[in-house]
Amino acid sequence: MVLHVTPEGLYCPAGDFHIDPWRPVARALITHGHADHARDGHGAYLATDLAAPVMRHRLGDIALDTIRYGEARQIGDARVSFLPAGHVPGSAQIRVEAGGEVWVVSGDYKLEVDPLSTPFEPVRCHQFVTECTFGLPVFDWPDPGDVACEINAWWAANAAEGRFTLLGAYALGKAQRVLMMLDPSIGPILTHGAIEATNAVMRAQGLALPDTHHVTPETDLRARRGALVIAPPGALAGSWARRFRPASTGFASGWMRLRGVRRRRAADRGFVLSDHADWAGLNRAIAETGAETIHVTHGYTEIFARWLTAQGYDARVLRTEFTGETLDDGAET
């Protein structure tokens, strides 16, 4: 078998490496920089050159080697390459070929094109490892352009009434995607420190983000009333957010598709926006691989595996410690 699960994570015996391991290993190949996939403590790391800056920002002085999209590298008896996953900047699917068999580990991915990430590329393989964070038919993403109009209209209405607009979004990927949807003519854009630090990394990579203002204890909020404030979701439930009054609160997440989630989060608005594939995207990506065997990881694993089996695939649940998209300060904040 080209890949199998060990207590440390998904392991390739032919190359003696792990992919996105959740416990320390000697050599780790990393699909992207979110904390449930890129953890500290490994002896050596390999990731795309586009993912490297944020990984160094998050993990510090690690032994990190980089690889470009499409570049092939021989590691032991395995030949590996990294292909775009479309999830966040630098995110990759990892193709592993050994003994004439090809596996692809997709990490997290989406097929929807955005201005930040290199678009997803389908990769032909024999066995495909896929997430299913949103593996139910109810998860059907709206047009991002429509979502942008909704966010800007909400912000403009709040600004006209002198309210702050507080929007919860992950610090890596989602926040920057939201930033590129905003109309800066409406007012100033303020950011939580975790998001502003990631913005700085991405600006250094050449991404043209709109101007933002980092909120510090010295920030004069009275002069910024009507601003839009982007923060990690967990920050909106604590003391950090209470300084913005009056305010309207919202979240940008795929989970906003589920009835009741916004109410449980005590949010005024919910915007359906995800960096993961929706139901149609998952099914399309799997079909385009040509794989007969599908390994289903984090998400609605049992349900999605049963669906795939009914479609004629050899579908198997693969137990991992990945978490996907949440509405809390967890893997992706």
Q: Which residue has the higher pLDDT, 329 or 115?
A: 115
How many Cβ atoms from other residues are within 10 Å of residue 266's Cβ?
9
Considering just the CA atoms, what is the radius of gyration of the chain in Å? Answer: 20
Structure tokens at 320: 């991992």
Q: In this predicted model, what pLDDT tens digit does every residue of 20-67 receive, in sequence order?
A: 999 999 999 999 999 999 999 999 999 999 999 999 999 999 999 999
pTM, rounded to two decimals: 0.95
Burial of 202 (0-12, 13-18, 19+ CB in 10 A): buried
Residue 333 has pLDDT above 60, yes or no: no
pLDDT of residue 126: 98
CA gap 22, 28 in Å, rounded? 10
CA gap 8, 181 in Å, rounded? 39
Residue 264 has pLDDT above 80, yes or no: no
Residue 332 has pLDDT above 50, yes or no: no
Q: In this predicted model, what pLDDT tens digit does every residue of 209-219 receive, in sequence order?
A: 999 999 999 99
Transcribe 265-305 into DSSP letters: TT-SEEE---SS--HHHHHHHHHHHT-SEEEEEEESHHHHH
**Mean of per-residue pLDDT scores for the chain:** 95
Q: C-alpha angle with apex 44: 9 to 333, nearest 5 degrees?
A: 65
CA distances from 50 to 20, 83, 131, 288, 313 (A): 17, 12, 22, 25, 33
pLDDT of residue 328: 61
CA gap 25, 29 in Å, rounded? 10
Which residues face 28 on adjacent strands? 18, 45
Q: In this predicted model, what pLDDT tens digit does every residue of 226-262 receive, in sequence order?
A: 999 999 999 998 899 999 999 999 999 999 999 888 8
CA gap 152, 150 in Å, rounded? 6
CA gap 44, 26 in Å, rounded? 6
Transcribe 197-239 into DSSP letters: HHHHHHHHTT--PPP-EE--TT--GGGGTT-EEEE-GGGGGSH
Q: In this predicted model, what pLDDT tens digit does every residue of 112-140 receive, in sequence order?
A: 999 999 999 999 999 999 999 999 999 99
Q: In this predicted model, what pLDDT tens digit does every residue of 165-189 receive, in sequence order?
A: 999 999 999 999 999 999 999 999 9
pLDDT of residue 88: 96
The region of weakest confidence among 24-28, 107-111, 166-170, 324-328 is: 324-328
pLDDT of residue 310: 98
Closest CA to 236 of 265, 196, 258: 265
pLDDT of residue 327: 67
Spell out the domains of the chain, with CATH numbers in brackets. Answer: 4-138+276-317 (3.60.15.10), 144-272 (3.40.50)
pLDDT of residue 329: 46
pLDDT of residue 330: 39
Residue 95 has pLDDT above 90, yes or no: yes
